[in-house]
Structure 1
């Protein structure tokens, strides 16, 4: 999965009605948050991973790589829940205190980890199936202030510009044999970060001046591309929501 796919909204799910997608995502998030079952969270991860693979041309390896960063972050965060000081079954003993764990803390950490990764897969599916213009339109319809919508759009596009510039810099560095020797790796990485920072500041200034020169009034107006709506996709999403609701009911 390329990062550009997340910003173009060209997946097959984009044929579904926008508000049907929004309701589907909202209900899925509500079910994922309210569940207290690790198995339900694992089912959510498997379900939306399958939907991402079905509606895009990505591979399992690319999807796993994309989810590895939030998984690593959540795993290290959950260690604070698993590890207890002077409580539970000790596994590291020191002079005045020990580190321990308990079955309750492990199950709580697994539940939080499952919920977090499940919500990540839901948001990833939403990003793939919904363009930035559709997201901004939805935010405007539900009454979110224009300032927050503006910040959302600028941040959303800024991340894309940073990723694209980093890709160009890495291609230029590799063409000059930058990462072939171990001694030069750190120097190349530091140069990449510094150039990326300077270039990103320059790109943001260019974007700001471009908006001001066009008399920007804090309101983004989008021209939506006409896409043929498919009732079968809406029916599929309704069926999936029904299955999630039934599975959530059975876990209680």
Structure 2
């Protein structure tokens, strides 16, 4: 079991009702995508980060480590929007930065910078909302939420199997990589490519074997009705949590309207 799954079972919000956590994360995620406002998106990101670190007691360094992966991909993606190319003879207003190469100009305008800022903050706000749900909600509670959404049982079963496969395969990949590294499998570039190919093949074979084992176990239990994933939740609702959700949504909308009229 990897640390993400461990955090879901050991955080301070593990006993909070999953519907409260789901509505809290979904409402702020919807607002971050709908409003597309830098101020409100920044508020959502900071507020969710504080809730994750201070409220759920997730280690701050671990949370920052999780943010680095989407942060890296987002930075490489927004570069396409940030920089524009135009002929030197074309007059362009509100240029922040520019480089002239032959008859062409590579520049950053104020409009591009504002668009990138809104996109960056909106995506990071959405990522923080998803991390809140993932890091504070055990898999059983997520299954319960999916069932209450009336999703098909086949979809839920595929979700659970995929979720478990991710941790199993990552754990196997980590073990194989350690074994390869101990044998100097990544000492040279040529040897690194060979070891990487062997790692991919091993993971592929193990994934097929695991899928077959899961299918055999499911068939041996007579799973033909798709009802073996029925989950019941015993956590009570908390009025304070619903009040916090309502106040947070209201405050986010207030920051959005305030930012547009200032």
For the aligned pair, the TM-score class normalised by the smaller chain equals 0.7 to 0.9
Name whichever of 10-19 and 185-194 sits farther off: 185-194
Name whichever of 161-170 and 27-36 sits farther off: 27-36
The one-character-per-residue Cα deviations of 1:65-116 (angstroms, maximum 9, x if unpaired) are: 2111111112222222212232854734445644333211111111111111
Larger Rg belongs to:
2
Query: Equivalent residue of 1:101, what SS?
Result: strand
* Change over 3 Å in CA distance of 1:20–1:146 after alignment to 2: same
1:158 to 145, 157, 165: 165
Query: Equivalent residue of 1:16, what SS?
Result: coil
Match of 2:243 in 1: 238
How far apart in 2 are the matches of 1:102 and 1:243?
Answer: 34
How far apart in 1 are the matches of 2:235 and 2:152?
Answer: 30
Match of 1:50 in 2: 50
* Change over 3 Å in CA distance of 1:98–1:129 after alignment to 2: same
Q: TM-score, normalised by structure 2?
A: 0.80
Count residues with an aligned counterpart: 248
Match of 2:260 in 1: none
RMSD, aligned CA: 2.8
Match of 1:59 in 2: 59
Confirm whether residue 212 of structure 1 aligns to residue 219 of structure 2.
yes
Q: CA deviation at 1:132?
A: 1.7
Matches within 5 A, 1:87-98: 89=95, 91-95=98-102, 97-98=104-105
How far apart in 2 are the matches of 1:144 and 1:3?
Answer: 25
* Change over 3 Å in CA distance of 1:124–1:210 after alignment to 2: same
Q: TM-score, normalised by structure 1?
A: 0.83
How far apart in 2 are the matches of 1:194 and 1:155?
Answer: 19
Gaps of 5+ in 1: none
Match of 2:137 in 1: 130
Gaps of 5+ in 2: 258-262
How far apart in 2 are the matches of 1:145 and 1:225?
Answer: 17
